[in-house]
């Protein structure tokens, strides 16, 4: 019965229609001889127009390692060789230059297990000479780079340094079994954020470090973990963060959306979900009323052990949340990234990932023009009154819990709490509220332990979630 249930669940997922008007067409992006992997993307804001997007990746043919750079948008460039030799190369990083035009590319280079990190500037089809950033690291430095900073791991220490006219000395940020750092790419001169792993007493925890020098010269560091084991933290657009958390025998996804910085989760029973990334962009519902939906793209197990697929989970649309399969090619599809491409006066969303099929690694891409409504948005605007409601927190709770929701427009709103018998025990009549984030607090002090339901209503929109009071 369990096998049948799993099979039916899988078939159901494959048959989910493109309810949001998104028609992703996939194809190979990089398929040159050898293996193509370890890629990074630099993409502009989706609303900027004429978006410049670059990709850098590692190609390995026998014992020859090559770092390539290629512009994907608005026009497709040739494959540019950044560095090529017999020394092992990993983890290219691309970012905008701070003081000069063009971009900068950094990568890791290893000789006999000793790692170095090099940097090159690229401008007007010209690559400058190598700059040695980091020398003599005995472990994989796992570099991450932003406009103003580069961070890395050195013997479990998390280090960071700034880019100025001259590159500064490094700063020790954390010294306890650190790994997998990821900087917000579009940071500012006096403000940056980094997410990373700390291993404490055999347990991997996710930490976020934030520095706002206009307020304080000190870093603020917080643990955001939710599970016994937590890995693969990564920043998406709008500084949202996502990571894998191991719970009840499977890897699930935990993420923040850009609206409220509250962790939510994605689970698909019987499957592992890996390498999540959050992203978003604005869709105008009218001249004065934009809607900003958000998305989580991730890798999911297949029924076949030799395969995995890329999926997209959508949130914040007027239509129901949807799970969309992106990859349709055989093999292991993993490590998705997101880019915006400007093609033929149209901005497209692109999801890029690694495909490993019978030992050959290539990069694939799936593109779509995001049109959430097939019919006219303005024509149908008055038919909708959309609310995004979060799971209450904490949950289980004793005795108080917070319920948070987001209105895309001003609306009259009410929240009703029911017990398991369907009896109303509390009504929050919030009246007419403005667009934005709102919250209410439910106090269960006078109620017994058990499952309760909260329902939010606004016009024709209604949604119900459950919560647990545990005394």
% pLDDT > 90, the chain:
47
Distance CA 439, CA 431 (A): 13
Nearest-5° Cα angle at 223, 221 to 225 = 155
The tokens describing 234, both together, are 């990564």
Q: Which three-class secondary structure state does DSSP give residue 214?
A: coil
Which value, in Å, is the radius of gyration of the alpha carbons in the chain?
Answer: 24
Res. 27: pLDDT tops 50? yes
Distance CA 81, CA 249 (A): 43
Report yes or no on whether pTM surpasses 0.85.
Answer: no
* 342-352 core/surface letters (b: 16 or more CB in 10 A; e: else): bbeeebbbbbb
Top-level CATH class of 22-378? mainly beta
**Residue, of 43 and 2, whose pLDDT is higher:** 43
pLDDT given at position 87: 96
Q: What is the mean pLDDT of residues 203-222?
A: 91
Residue-wise DSSP of 131-182: EEEEEEESS----EE-SSEEEEEETTEEEEEE-SSSPPPPEEEE-SSEEEEE
Provide the sign of the torsion angle of the four alpha carbons 48, 21, 385, 417, taken in this order.
negative
Q: What is the mean pLDDT of residues 206-235?
A: 91
Look up the CATH number of domain 385-469: 2.60.40.1930
How confident is the model over 137-165, as pLDDT tens digits?
Answer: 999 999 999 988 999 999 999 999 988 65
pLDDT given at position 153: 97
How confident is the model over 318-338, as pLDDT tens digits?
Answer: 445 578 889 989 999 999 999
**Residue, of 51 and 38, whose pLDDT is higher:** 38
Which pLDDT band holds residue 47 (cuts at 50, 70, 90)?
very low
Which pLDDT band holds residue 426 (cuts at 50, 70, 90)?
very high
The pLDDT mean for the chain works out to 82
Q: Which three-class secondary structure state does DSSP give residue 4?
A: helix
How confident is the model over 397-422, as pLDDT tens digits?
Answer: 899 999 988 776 677 888 999 987 77
pLDDT given at position 261: 57
Q: Which of 185-189, 251-255, 438-442 has the lowest mean pLDDT?
A: 185-189
The tokens describing 347, both together, are 């901005």
Which pLDDT band holds residue 116 (cuts at 50, 70, 90)?
very high
Q: Which of 45-49, 180-184, 434-438, 439-443 has the lowest mean pLDDT?
A: 45-49
**Given this chain, do its domains 22-378 and 385-469 carry the same CATH topology?**
no
Distance CA 58, CA 172 (A): 29
Distance CA 287, CA 289 (A): 6
pLDDT given at position 386: 54
Res. 21: pLDDT tops 50? no
Distance CA 458, CA 461 (A): 5
Q: Which of 193-202, 387-396, 421-430 has the lowest mean pLDDT?
A: 387-396
pLDDT given at position 52: 83
Task: Identify the helix (H) or strand (E) that includes residue 14.
Answer: helix 2-14
CA 35 to chain centroid, in Å, comes to 25
Torsion of CA 127, 133, 222, 39, to 10 degrees: 40
% pLDDT > 70, the chain:
80
Domain ranges of the chain: 22-378, 385-469
Q: Which three-class secondary structure state does DSSP give residue 361?
A: strand
């Amino acid at each position: 019965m369990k096998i049948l249930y799993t099979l039916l669940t899988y078939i159901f997922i494959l048959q989910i229609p493109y309810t949001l008007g998104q028609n992703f067409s996939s194809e190979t992006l990089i398929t040159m001889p050898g293996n193509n992997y370890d890629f990074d993307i630099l993409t502009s804001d989706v609303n900027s127009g004429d978006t410049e997007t670059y990709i850098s990746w590692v190609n390995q043919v026998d014992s020859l390692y090559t770092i390539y750079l290629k512009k994907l948008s608005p026009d497709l460039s040739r494959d540019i060789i950044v560095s090529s030799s017999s020394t092992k190369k990993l983890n290219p990083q691309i970012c905008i230059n701070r003081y000069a035009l063009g971009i900068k590319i950094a990568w890791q280079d290893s000789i006999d297990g000793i790692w170095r990190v090099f940097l090159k500037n690229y401008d007007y089809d010209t690559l400058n000479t190598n700059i040695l950033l980091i020398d003599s690291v005995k472990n994989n430095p796992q570099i991450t780079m932003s406009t103003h900073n580069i961070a890395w791991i050195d013997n479990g220490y998390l280090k960071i340094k700034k880019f100025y006219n001259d590159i500064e000395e490094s700063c020790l940020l954390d010294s306890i079994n650190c790994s997998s750092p990821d900087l917000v790419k579009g940071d500012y001169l006096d403000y940056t954020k980094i997410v990373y792993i700390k291993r404490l007493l055999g347990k991997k925890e996710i930490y976020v470090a934030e520095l706002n020098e206009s307020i304080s010269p000190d870093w603020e560091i917080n643990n955001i973990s939710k599970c016994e084991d937590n890995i693969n933290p990564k920043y998406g657009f709008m500084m949202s963060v996502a990571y894998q958390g191991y719970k009840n025998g499977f890897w699930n996804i935990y993420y923040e959306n850009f609206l409220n910085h509250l962790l939510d989760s994605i689970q698909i029973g019987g499957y592992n979900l890996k390498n999540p990334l959050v992203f978003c962009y604005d869709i105008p519902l009218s001249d004065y009323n934009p809607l900003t939906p958000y998305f989580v793209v991730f890798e999911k197990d297949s029924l076949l052990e030799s395969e995995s697929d890329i999926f997209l989970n959508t949130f914040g649309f007027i239509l129901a949340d949807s799970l969309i399969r992106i990859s349709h090619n055989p093999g292991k599809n993993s490590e998705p990234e997101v880019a915006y491409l400007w093609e033929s006066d149209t901005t497209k969303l692109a999801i890029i990932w690694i495909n490993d099929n019978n030992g050959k690694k290539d990069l694939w891409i799936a593109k779509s023009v995001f049109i959430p409504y097939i019919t006219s948005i303005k024509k149908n605007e008055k038919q909708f009154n959309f609310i995004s409601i979060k799971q209450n927190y904490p949950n289980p709770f004793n005795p108080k819990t917070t319920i948070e929701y987001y209105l895309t427009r001003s609306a009259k709103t009410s929240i009703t709490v029911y017990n398991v018998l369907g009896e109303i025990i509390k009504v929050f009549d919030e009246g007419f509220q403005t667009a934005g984030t709102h919250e209410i607090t439910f106090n269960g002090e006078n109620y017994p332990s058990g499952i309760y339901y909260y329902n939010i209503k606004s016009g024709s929109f209604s949604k119900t979630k459950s919560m647990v009071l545990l005394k």
